[in-house]
């Protein structure tokens, strides 16, 4: 298998580092996002204690009775808030839904914000008040880490460092808590049923807080599947389609999937918590002029982030 560039980077080098450290961080994340679309990040602002607490709460949520969880599933929200049950989301191009259920937490803005009408209110668990508090804290910390990462990416793209700041402030970001439920009868599964079918993320960048088991794989440029593993409390960060569109394919939104475990481990659950960093809905995703030249002609039509999200939610079956 060919070598895959997934560097392990220290966010402190960018946030608190010297000029040389900041430049090296920006160069390394840019190079990796150009080649494979993935990095792992340490010193991101989440303590081990907070991550451990998060996973306790996530496991408690999905252990609730089915009828309790279904109280929090509101179809008209298209899975963007609260609970989304099993067999609801299907990767683009697949016919069989992913083997998962999830809960989503979105942006909170003041009542006076012009974006208030665009963002549904979050749904809070009556049964698990600590779940509500912990996920809100995680949301803010990952949003902050994501803003620093986008500053480093802007520098790599030779844009002003603060290029993304006003576009992601009060952005339409989503924290998703995921449960890949046990597979009790593997022989009854359709042939192409997997925990998460091969897909690309919709947003600018995704920050993933580890997972309780292996299974995440990316598709290399040589068309080989390569396992992505985080160490300890590291975040796995990858490029989404919005950033790929904006940069006219300079930064790579890499296809990835979550495969089913070996047969003897199928009876065990897998949990993970990704944060999908989105801009405000009105951000233009028109390709940056600096990423267009005779060798790299403009590859995408102009569209806003809100229009693109709506299009993709329909493609994956969450919005009708």
pLDDT value at 163 more than 50: yes
* pLDDT value at residue 214: 78
Judge whether 2 lies within some domain.
no
Q: What is the pairing mode between strands 8-10 and 38-42?
A: parallel
Per residue in 263-274, pLDDT (tens digit) is: 888 888 999 999
Three-class SS string for the chain? Answer: CCCCCCCEEEHHHHHCCCHHHHHHHHHHHHHHHHHCCEEEEECCCCCHHHHHHHHHHHHHHHCCCHHHHHCCCCHHHCCCCEEECCCCCCCCCCCCCCCCEEEEEECCCCCCCCCHHHCCCCCCCCCCHHHHHHHHHHHHHHHHHHHHHHHHHHHHCCCCCCCCHHHHCCCCCEEEEEEECCCCCHHHCCCCCCCEEEECCCCCEEEEECCCCCCEEEECCCCCEEECCCCCCCEEEEECHHHHHHCCCCCCCCCEEECCCCHHHCCCCEEEEEEEECCCCCCECCCCHHHCCCCCCCCCCCCEHHHHHHHHHHHCCCCC
Angle at which helix 129-156 crosses helix 19-35, to 10 degrees, equals 100
Report pLDDT for 211.
67
List the CATH number of the domain containing 58: 2.60.120.330
Per the domain annotation, does 3 fall within a domain?
Answer: no
Q: What contacts 54, CB < 8 A, 6 or more positions away?
A: 134, 135, 138, 209, 273
Instruction: Please give the average per-residue pLDDT across 124-150, as a whole number.
Output: 97
Quick: pLDDT tens for 164-221: 999 999 999 999 999 999 888 887 777 778 888 889 999 999 999 976 667 899 998 8
Q: Give bridge partners of residue 38 from the DSSP assignment.
A: 238
Sign of CA dihedral 58, 92, 38, 202: negative
- pLDDT of the residue at 98: 87
Tokens of 263: 């047969």
pLDDT score of 155 more than 50: yes
CA separation, residue 245 to residues 37, 88, 299 (Å): 13, 27, 8
Query: What was the pLDDT predicted at 212?
Result: 61
pLDDT higher at 128 or 194 = 128
Structure tokens at 229: 């593993």
Other beta carbons within 10 angstroms of residue 254's beta carbon come to: 22
Whole-angstrom distance, CA of residue 115 vs CA of residue 123? 18
**Tokens 């698990």, residue?**
128
How many angstroms separate the most distant Cα atoms in the chain?
58
- pLDDT 10s digits, 60-102: 999 999 999 999 999 999 889 999 999 888 878 788 888 899 9
14 within a domain of the structure (yes/no):
yes
pLDDT level of residue 1 (50, 70, 90 thresholds): very low
Q: What is the pLDDT of residue 17?
A: 97
235-263 tens-digit pLDDT: 999 999 999 999 999 999 999 998 888 88
pLDDT of residue 277: 98
What's residue 317's pLDDT?
Answer: 79
Q: What pLDDT sits at residue 39?
A: 94
Are 249 and 307 in contact, with CB atoms under 8 Å apart? no
The count of domains in the chain is 1
What does the block give as tokens for 286? 């028109």
Q: How confident is the model at residue 162 (pLDDT cuts 50, 70, 90)?
A: very high
- pTM value? 0.94
In a domain, 270, yes or no: yes
Q: Is residue 271 part of a domain?
A: yes
Q: What is the pLDDT of residues 12-59, one digit of tens each?
A: 999 999 999 999 999 999 999 999 999 999 999 999 999 999 999 999
Q: In what order do the strands lie in the sheet with 38-42?
A: 8-10, 38-42, 235-239, 205-209, 270-277, 174-180, 101-106, 82-84
Do 196 and 98 form a contact (C-beta atoms < 8 A)?
Answer: yes
Range of the domain at 248: 8-315
Is the residue at 320 inside a domain? Answer: no
Predicted confidence at residue 82, as pLDDT, reads: 97
């Amino acid at each position: 298998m060919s070598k895959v560039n997934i560097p392990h980077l220290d966010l402190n080098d960018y946030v608190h580092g010297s000029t040389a450290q900041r430049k090296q961080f920006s160069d390394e994340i840019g190079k990796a996002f150009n080649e494979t679309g993935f990095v792992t990040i340490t010193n991101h602002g989440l303590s081990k204690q907070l991550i451990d607490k998060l996973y306790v709460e996530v496991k408690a949520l999905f252990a609730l009775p089915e009828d309790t969880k279904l109280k929090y599933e509101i179809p008209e929200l298209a899975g963007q808030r609260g609970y989304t049950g099993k067999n609801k989301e299907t990767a683009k191009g697949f016919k069989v839904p992913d083997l998962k259920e999830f809960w989503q937490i979105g942006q909170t803005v003041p009542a006076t914000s012009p974006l208030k009408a665009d963002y549904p209110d979050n749904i809070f668990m009556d049964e698990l008040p600590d779940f509500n508090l912990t996920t809100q804290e995680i949301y803010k910390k990952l949003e902050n880490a994501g803003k620093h990462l986008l500053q480093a990416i802007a520098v790599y793209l030779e844009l002003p460092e603060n290029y993304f700041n006003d576009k992601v402030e009060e952005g339409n970001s989503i924290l998703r808590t995921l449960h890949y439920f046990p597979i009790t009868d593997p022989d009854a599964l359709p042939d192409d049923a997997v925990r998460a079918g091969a897909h690309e993320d919709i947003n600018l960048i995704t920050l993933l807080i580890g997972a309780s088991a292996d299974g995440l794989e990316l598709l290399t440029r040589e068309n080989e599947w390569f396992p992505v593993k985080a160490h300890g409390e590291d975040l796995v960060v990858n490029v989404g389609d919005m950033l790929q569109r904006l940069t006219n394919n300079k930064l790579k939104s890499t296809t990835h999937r979550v495969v089913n475990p070996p047969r003897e481990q199928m009876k065990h659950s897998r949990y993970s918590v990704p944060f999908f960093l989105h801009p405000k809905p009105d951000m233009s995703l028109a390709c940056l002029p600096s990423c267009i030249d005779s060798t790299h002609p403009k590859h995408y039509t102009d569209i806003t982030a809100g229009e693109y999200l709506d299009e993709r939610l329909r493609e994956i079956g969450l919005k009708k």
